[in-house]
């Protein structure tokens, strides 16, 4: 008998004081759902890329955000970690680190 998938639990909102850009992030198991809820998306020559920042370590790319809603796989999230979105060239960061401006951030408060 098929089971109904559990809904995504709200995790954090990614925002910045000087911008109307907003993303809502939810978690279900090891899946993150990133939903674009306000502000302008990336233009045709760019993409938004999601990063995980843990303390002073180098940011880790979790993937590219495509469309109004994107689901990405992740593991090992914990309170205090930061999620950030940068503006990158189409195809994502060519260096494996953010190369464009950080547009919005959000702290994981609790899981």
* Domain 9-107 annotated CATH 2.60.40: yes
Sequential DSSP letters for 13-37: EEB-TT---EEEEEEETTEEEEEEE
Q: Quick one: pLDDT at residue 8? A: 92
Query: Each residue's pLDDT tens digit in the chain (111 positions)?
Result: 667 778 999 999 999 999 999 999 999 999 999 999 999 999 999 999 999 999 999 999 999 998 899 999 998 999 999 999 999 999 999 999 999 999 999 999 988
Q: Taking the domains of the chain in order of start, what are their residue ranges?
A: 9-107
Q: Quick one: pLDDT at residue 66? A: 86
3-state secondary structure of 47: strand
Alpha helices of 59-98 — where are they, by DSSP H? none
Q: Quick one: pLDDT at residue 81? A: 96
- What pTM was estimated for this model as a whole? 0.92
Q: Quick one: pLDDT at residue 50? A: 97
C-alpha distance from residue 14 to each of 5, 11, 21, 97 (Å): 25, 10, 8, 19
Give the N- to C-terminal CA distance of the chain in Å, as an integer: 29
């Amino acid at each position: 008998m098929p089971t109904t998938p559990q809904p995504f639990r709200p995790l954090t909102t990614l925002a910045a004081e000087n911008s109307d850009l907003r993303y809502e992030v939810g978690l279900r198991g090891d899946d993150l759902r990133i939903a674009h809820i306000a502000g302008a998306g990336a233009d045709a020559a760019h993409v938004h890329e999601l990063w995980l920042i843990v303390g002073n370590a180098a940011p880790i790319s979790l993937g590219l955000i495509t469309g109004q809603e994107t689901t990405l796989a992740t593991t090992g999230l914990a309170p205090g970690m930061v999620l950030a979105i940068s503006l990158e060239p189409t195809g994502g960061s060519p260096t494996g680190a953010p190369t464009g401006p950080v547009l919005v951030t959000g702290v994981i408060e609790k899981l």
